[in-house]
Chain A
Amino acid sequence: MIDFMDQKGLRELEARCIQDEAPPCQATCPLHVDVRGMLAALGRGDFAAARAVYQKSVPFPGIVSRVCDEPCQGACTRGQVGEAIAIRALEQACMQADVPRPPVKKLRARHKRVAVIGGGLSGLTAVADLSRKGYDLTLYEAADRLGGRIWQTSATTLPRELIAQDLALLSELDVAVKLETSPDLAAICQDYDAVYLATGQGEVHVDPLTYATDQPGLFAGGSLLRGHWSPIASMSDGRRAAVSIDRYLQKVSLTASRSNEGAYETKLYTNTTGVGASDAVPLPVLGYSAEEAIAEAQRCIQCQCLECVKVCAYLEEYGGYPRQYVRTVYNNLSIVMGERHANQFINSCATCGLCAAVCPTDFDMGAVCKTARSVMVQQKRMPPSAHEFALRDMAFSNGDKFAMARNQPGTTTSAYLFFPGCQLAGSSPEQVTAVYDYLQANLSGGVGLMLGCCGAPADWAGRDDLRAAALAQFQESHAALGRPKVVLACSSCFQMFKARLPEVELVSLWTLLQEKGMPETAVSGASDAIAIHDPCTTRYETAVQDSVRHLVSQLGYDIAELPRSRETTTCCGFGGLMVYANRDLAKKVVAQRIAESPADYVTYCAVCRDYFAAQGKPTRHLLDLIFGSSHDGGRGPGFSQKHENRARLKRQLLQERWGEMVTGAEEYASIRLNLSDALLALLEDRLILVEDLQQVIAYAERGGHKLLNAQSGHFLAQFRPNTVTYWVEYAPDGDGYTVFNAYSHRMDVGEGKRP
């Protein structure tokens, strides 16, 4: 269970998404220069912006861009595909831009005196940082010039005028510089509020986190302590010591919140698949020209993760990534008054788990959205229109018209129980019968049959109560049949029972078919290539996926694997009820999926099949290949027809197999309607069922009110069975009615006001 209803839980969740972590170059740089940002600016030729980025982190950019030992380069992801970026050379190149050093901004004077001993890069950095914070700085240097070891660099590499330019900063900051002065440490410590010993010399014990020594107010760092000269690490010492001195003088904790100072290892993951290898632009002795620098900067792959966003149309649709999204979800759930802009976002996720499958830290946005939906339902904030139609469909499937459970005809016990699920029965009822016959012929001990819905739609809708009711209904019937092993054709049912009813023994129909062999009548494929779409609820069911592939090859097809299959398969847009919350997005998801291969598709979920076929992709259900099908890869039945198919399946099976008559259909169901294909398509689009039309007309013709169009002679009537008002335009036609139009609304209009 994900808990993001408190700030702490939220932050833990946010932290699991690594997209905002620094790229390796920046994390490895002890001063954390935003190398990625700098190279992005350089890559588009904006030298001034690049220099500004660089100067933001580096106090003496003219010097450092010449002498830096660039540890960043060793960490550069580019180095995994070709040569690492020549980062230091690009820093030098961006210093070509004629950008004046930003004016020195000093905080208000703090009237505290700080001495820094040692005028190398470490001491200079500490001086610059502390001086900006408003402290009075005195810098002591034993030699007759500042800079320390930088003078050992040749004048070709480090032109001396750059040193002068950079060090001019000190006079701007009003730092008192005392050259050729080696003060007595004990005396200095007496005279100043804090001291930074930046020479790296001396017999002092230094805390590696805070640079504090055993003597209060005395801090020490510098490369001599490190044993080798790293200009950038020396500067980092100075900066971190300055942080400690500031904290010491402000009397706050030296140690709190100091993670990731200096070089550290980033958690950011960058996938380099598809990145072509390239070598660095050759570096002339005097440095890159502008053109060369731009070319080199453009080799930067701009490290970022976005693994989930790259594979999910939903995550891409909203322009962010999980770290931002969980905050959006949290805020949406926390709103007391005002508009909840993220409702549709929360309800659009397919909850298919692909994000978690590709995420380096297993971040599951679907789990977040599912939890959020449950919370919305509890808060009574779930938009009724989001899931009502799907829940109504589920209620139909678990109601009298479809739900049933029986032992095999002529038996009183069941070793097995076939649970085909609601969607297969709605889409291809004849296959339910065929599979049931097959199972009875191939399994011993009795094969019962249970029709109904597993509760997945309720689970997706955040309706924990309805899910529990559906599962309870299943459990009751399952227990009455003696708790047989359940044979499942639908992978959503499989996941639901596996997760929620661990005590129930399950077997996938596909595993069974492989084990027992397909019927001899199985359609034999003409060695055509066919691409397998694994339903998203089989993501981690490797054995089921294997069985399906075994069956498809046995049928004679050449399997063309889709680029995303098995563990990284995608959803068809029905999962999580995406299609009801965001129809356009669901269509986009299908469009992307069906474009992945020119081959016809085969899948083993009735909804995936119907959705792909509805958007023009020849798609077959695996059962179509084994038992044949009336829709031959094309469009399947609509919502109303699926209801009708389920009801008829139950009536026929009960009548033909068990000799039971089903009675008690509603009176309106006998109303005969004349519906054009165009109207049927309109109904499908507007989520209006034929039974809704029948109810409206029955109500109107029973004496309910209706309107008459004087010109056309059509009637227009409305009826509100529950939460939706349906309007139907119709005219009597023989012993029935022709329907011309239908629409609905949720708003209640003057209901009960009529006499």
Chain B
Amino acid sequence: MSVKLDLSDAANWVCADCQVALIIKKVDVSYLGSSFPVDMPVCPQCGLVFVPEALALGKMAEVEKTLEDK
């Protein structure tokens, strides 16, 4: 799976606990036994991953449906 992320969504958000900006990092995204590495905004200190709304409701929902029908 390749997901092109619109990073403008992430630009305004910082990790509230660590008070640092998010960086783009490969994160494992999994569903129904399938797993893919995806570039996501992540807190470099605590590892909190940010899933923007557009990703959740767009590409991610699409892949969920495909995997559910596999």
A interface residues (Cβ-Cβ under 8 A, vs B): 338-341, 343-344, 383-386, 705-712, 715-716, 718, 725, 727, 741, 743-750, 753-755
- Rounded to whole angstroms, the CA-CA distance of A385 and B40 in the bound complex is 24
Sample (25) of A-B pairs whose CB atoms are under 8 Å apart: A340-B69, A341-B69, A385-B65, A386-B68, A706-B17, A707-B14, A707-B22, A707-B50, A708-B14, A709-B13, A712-B12, A725-B51, A727-B51, A727-B53, A745-B61, A747-B60, A748-B30, A749-B29, A749-B40, A749-B49, A750-B27, A750-B42, A750-B49, A753-B47, A754-B49
- Rounded to whole angstroms, the CA-CA distance of A507 and B39 in the bound complex is 60
CB nearest to A716 among chain B residues: B13
Is A755 within 8 A of B15, CB to CB?
A: no
Interfacial chain B residues near A718, Cβ < 8 Å: 51
Is B47 within 8 A of A754, CB to CB?
A: yes
CB nearest to A711 among chain B residues: B12
Known contacts A743-B57, A747-B64; 8 further A-B pairs (Cβ under 8 A): A339-B70, A340-B70, A343-B68, A343-B69, A709-B12, A745-B56, A749-B49, A750-B27
- Rounded to whole angstroms, the CA-CA distance of A383 and B32 in the bound complex is 10
B 2-21 binary contact with A (CB < 8 Å = 1; else 0)? 00000000001111110000
Nearest CB of chain A from residue B33's CB, rounded to whole Å = 10
Nearest CB of chain B from residue A77's CB, rounded to whole Å = 42
Is B56 within 8 A of A744, CB to CB?
A: yes
Interfacial chain A residues near B28, Cβ < 8 Å: 750, 753
Interfacial chain B residues near A707, Cβ < 8 Å: 13-16, 22, 48, 50
- A338, A384, A386, A747: the one within 8 Å of B63 (CB): A747
Instruction: Give the 6 A-B CB pairs with smallest separation, nearest first.
Output: A383-B68, A708-B16, A745-B56, A754-B47, A750-B27, A707-B13
CB nearest to B18 among chain A residues: A705
Q: Chain B: interface residue count, which band?
A: 20 to 34
- Rounded to whole angstroms, the CA-CA distance of A753 and B35 in the bound complex is 14
Nearest CB of chain B from residue A89's CB, rounded to whole Å = 53
- Rounded to whole angstroms, the CA-CA distance of A119 and B45 in the bound complex is 98
- Rounded to whole angstroms, the CA-CA distance of A709 and B11 in the bound complex is 9
Question: Interface of chain A, helix or strand or loop or mixed?
Answer: mixed
- Rounded to whole angstroms, the CA-CA distance of A437 and B18 in the bound complex is 58
Is B16 within 8 A of A715, CB to CB?
A: yes
- A338, A727, A745, A754: the one within 8 Å of B48 (CB): A754
Interfacial chain B residues near A715, Cβ < 8 Å: 16
Is B68 within 8 A of A385, CB to CB?
A: yes
Interfacial chain A residues near B43, Cβ < 8 Å: 705
Nearest CB of chain B from residue A388's CB, rounded to whole Å = 11
- Rounded to whole angstroms, the CA-CA distance of A727 and B14 in the bound complex is 15
Is B12 within 8 A of A710, CB to CB?
A: yes
Is B29 within 8 A of A727, CB to CB?
A: no
Is A746 within 8 A of B13, CB to CB?
A: no
Interfacial chain A residues near B40, Cβ < 8 Å: 749-750
Is A705 within 8 A of B48, CB to CB?
A: yes
Is A743 within 8 A of B56, CB to CB?
A: yes
Nearest CB of chain A from residue B64's CB, rounded to whole Å = 5
- Rounded to whole angstroms, the CA-CA distance of A743 and B16 in the bound complex is 20
